[in-house]
A and B are shown apart, each in its own frame.
Chain A
Amino acid sequence: MAARDVLNSIKKRFDTIIQRADVPADNRLYLYVQLEMIKEVCRYVFRDLDARYVISIGMDDRQNSNRFLVAHDFSFDRENVLASIMVQLPATQPRVDCISDVVPAANWAEREMRDLLGIESVGCPNPKRLILPDGWPDGVHPLRKDVPWNYVPPDFDENKEYRFDEAPEGCTVVPFGPFHPTLDEPAHFRLYVEGEIVRGCEYRGFMVHRGIEKLADSVLTYNEIPMLAERICGICGCVHSVAYIQAVEQAATIKPTPRAEFIRTIMLELERLHSHLLWVGLASHILGFDTLFMQSWRIREPIMWIAEKLTGNRKTYSLCVVGGVRWDITTEMKKELQGVLDTLETEWIKVANAVKGDRNIKARTKGVGIADQDLVKEAGLIGPLARASGVPIDCRRDLPYAAYDRVDFNVIVEDGCDVWSRVLVRVREVFESIRIIHQCLEKMPEGPIQLKINDELPPGRIGLSSVEAPRGESHHFVVTGENNRPDRWRVRAPTYQNLQGIPAMIKDQQLADMTISLGSIDPCFSCTDRMEMVDIRSGKIQVYSQEELLQLVRQGNDTGTKKKCS
């Protein structure tokens, strides 16, 4: 049993400090360790056992166990195990050792725990606000159970500004976002530019928070949450709804019907197809090559039509319920889907051949946005970004879910580490997805698409689920609760990790390459910013007031000094 092997290797070093270990399945491990030793355990797991860092999660468990809970999720890709290492913190003044110095990828997760739950990370290298807007009052932590979901703090300070770091010597500040033609969603990258070379960058984001995790805790029920989950992202919605449902099913030890698993796989791969084709279009648009943009979207359109025929909507499939799916694939639809895939494959082969020989595109993308293997390990990068740097991680193969263990596919890996490699990875993954869907359509068994659930779901159980979104691994953590709703739901979208690698990727590159480097990670800011409280009526969540934003753009920086080297 792979999970037991992992447990044993951790026990060899840390036997006495493990308080409790649960191995509910062959591929899951839940460890409770002593509070003081969490940093050492994480260091051992990350460095010596070479696990991949996934996310850190905080939870307010005061009404059940009178504690706060902090979980650090790691993935042992080679052993096919997802593990969660947990500590319990006292209810008053929750403090835990910061692990960002041993696991650099944990930086954002710890700042988020601090902002939203008030869990103090002792020794955190960068204790700035991440999620909450600057005007939010201190001491009010939205994800705590005593703060209602529609709370508007009366002392919200609209004019408080974010304190950026000092610009390095000799650099101009170029503000990138929140309004920029390349960005689909608002985010702010403060670039420090010397001439045309970017020397550094600071990110301020989370401007489109929507209170999704809080709504799931307090308002919605198990079968209503997938409708919310699929709206986390406008491109990879199905991934989030499937990941959530799988986490709940795992927590409650429910096995969905086999036909439902195949249907989920098919819809996930359809989503990957449409996402990669969309990305090729977007990347070309960023490079100024609008013709390829239009053509790849034209080729993508039949996928949207077939999705509408199958599920009723082009994008928000509303697919999952606990124990199954809502839409079946009839024989006519199967034939039609196969026809669409064949046309798509023929057209895409032509486009792929044309693009591979195009020196104009290669000149703009080769050697740009380099992310080497060390950065992938330190920052926990995933998805096509990692696979283009030679790191072969893919949740479909490493942590199999749905029907992926029953189909055959290749994991596409390139080793150029630059934007051109990412283009190649995504172009080739389209063909793999088509292969998977054909196999699923052949192997899909007859049977019901929904399970009849006769009992309420048991509270207090933990479920973890990792699904390979088009952008990388999407990881969900669910703790079941009372009242037909989860006690905690944590969403870790792939862009959350990939964005943390951006400052290193754009350093010492040209300013013109910034946009394509950012575009090459396929950023989905909606996936990243999915937590905060927004009251629709006041609409008061904004980082800059309008005058400040205009001023920033016009003057170039707000410290009054501007040395331009060109």
Chain B
Amino acid sequence: MQLNIAAIILGAINVALALVLAPLFEGILRKITARIQSRQGPPLLQPYFDLLKLLGKEDIESGHSPRMQRFAALLSLATVLTVAVQVPMGGHAPLGGQSDVILLIYLLTLSGISTLLAALAAGSTYSLVGMSREMMAMMTLEPLLAVAIVIGAVHTSTLRLDQVLNGSVYASGLFPVAGLIMLGIILFALQAFIGRMPFDTAEAETEIMEGPVMEYSGPKLALFKYARMVKLFVFSALFIALFIPWGHTGFYPLDVIIFLAKVTVLVLLVTLIAATHARYRIDQAIRYYASLFGLAFVALVFAVSGF
């Protein structure tokens, strides 16, 4: 257990980056969406104001078990922040050898489970419908992410997180077939991981009245919204760490800036896709994920056989 000061500081910076910058990226997303829709759009800092406003609102506790609701709200933000601590943002992974791939996969699944808990704790019909959709989506999506990370593990022959991330899917300079296939697959599934159009079935506003988060108001809703924004940031960071690792200068602040630039480009891509698509129905979405998983399996076979 060697937690040196550098690791703690790096970890704290990661969390700070996630907390401070996630709403800004959400703001960029909303502004670009508005411009595509020929509108003016909200100011870039609007998500900060939204969160502040929600924190100040009355917390009405309605639902089957308020204690579980509180726990679910806190869990949702806590899991994504814990993932943020582990993912390298411009440098080495803060926890170094202390964390491994299994932990990362577990935490990402846990963040999905927090949504399920949220819906169950609320207990209203629409929450339960949203929960069943989220569950079906999770069952077919999490394996995709797991396969991506496992391919990295296979190529570096280790489960240590700092070595698996940092572009090891390309295994230091080579371009394996498996890695490229996975790049394509995760790119196609990125919208689904962060829950934006066309794959936001679980939180379909016009169909099931926001689904799992329907019964939440005030500070708890702020936590869920914050968790969603941080998810966008963290998944982008994960994607960059796995597939676009180049551009390291060794000088930490410059690395962070390069990293943030990459995240911005990814957010722009996500926005473009989200603004130009209609929402898919849950069965259509599941079929899509399942076909992607088939391809991912092929990639895994390649990786294991050494390509």
Contact = CB atoms under 8 A, between A and B. Distances in A.
A174 B37 contact: no
Given A298-B38, A510-B281, A554-B63, A288 B125 contact: no
A219 interface: no
Nearest to B64: A554
A287 B278 contact: yes
Given A174-B126, A554-B62, A556-B124, A180 B209 contact: yes
Contacts of A553: 124-126
21 contacts: A174-B126, A175-B125, A181-B206, A196-B129, A196-B132, A196-B283, A287-B279, A288-B198, A288-B200, A289-B277, A289-B279, A290-B275, A294-B38, A360-B280, A361-B278, A364-B279, A510-B282, A512-B207, A512-B281, A512-B282, A556-B124
B79 interface: no
B276 interface: yes
A338 interface: no
B201 interface: yes
Interface residues on A, range: 35 or more
Instruction: List the 10 closest A-B pairs by CB distance, nearest first.
Output: A288-B279, A289-B278, A294-B37, A287-B278, A556-B125, A512-B281, A566-B132, A554-B124, A182-B206, A291-B275
Nearest to B133: A196
A289 B201 CA distance: 13
Interface string A333-366: 0000000000000000000000000001101100
Contacts of B33: 290-291
A550 B207 CA distance: 18
A184 to B, nearest CB: 12
A306 B278 CA distance: 31
A291 B209 contact: no
Given A291-B36, A515-B206, A564 B277 contact: no
Interface in B238-290: 275-284
A289 B204 CA distance: 11
Contacts of A285: 206
Interface in B107-148: 123-126, 128-129, 132
A550 B214 CA distance: 13
A513 interface: yes
Given A290-B33, A291-B37, A294-B39, 19 more contacts: A174-B126, A175-B125, A181-B206, A196-B132, A286-B206, A288-B198, A288-B200, A288-B277, A288-B278, A288-B279, A289-B197, A289-B278, A363-B284, A510-B283, A511-B208, A512-B204, A512-B281, A553-B126, A556-B125
B207 A182 contact: yes
Nearest to B131: A566
B205 interface: yes
A364 B125 contact: no
A174 B282 CA distance: 18
Contacts of B36: 291
Residue picked from B200, B209, B278, B283, most chain A C-beta under 10 Å: B278
Contacts of B280: 360, 363-364
A511 B198 CA distance: 18
Interface string A210-231: 0000000000000000000000
Interface string A482-523: 000000000000000000000000000011111100000000
A289 B126 CA distance: 21
B299 to A, nearest CB: 26
Contact of B206 (A172, A175, A288, A564): A288
Contacts, number: 94
A295 interface: yes
Given A172-B125, A364-B279, A556-B124, A288 B197 contact: yes
Nearest to A193: B129
A257 interface: no
Contacts of B62: 550, 554
A513 B124 CA distance: 20
A131 interface: no
Contacts of A295: 37-38
A564 B278 contact: no
A173 interface: yes
Contact of A513 (B39, B123, B276, B281): B281
A360 B198 contact: yes
B125 A173 contact: yes
- Report which residue of A174, A514, A515, A554 has the largest number of chain B beta carbons within 10 angstroms of its beta carbon: A554
Nearest to B214: A553
A554 B278 CA distance: 29
A554 B197 CA distance: 28
Contacts of A284: 278
Interface in A33-85: none
A195 B132 CA distance: 9
A564 B278 CA distance: 29
A182 B279 CA distance: 15
Q: Interface centre among B124, B206, B284, by most A CB within 10 Å?
A: B206
Interface string B26-52: 000000010011110000000000000
Contacts of B209: 180-181
Contacts of A515: 206-207
A294 B34 CA distance: 9
Contacts of A293: 37
A295 B180 CA distance: 37
A364 B275 CA distance: 17
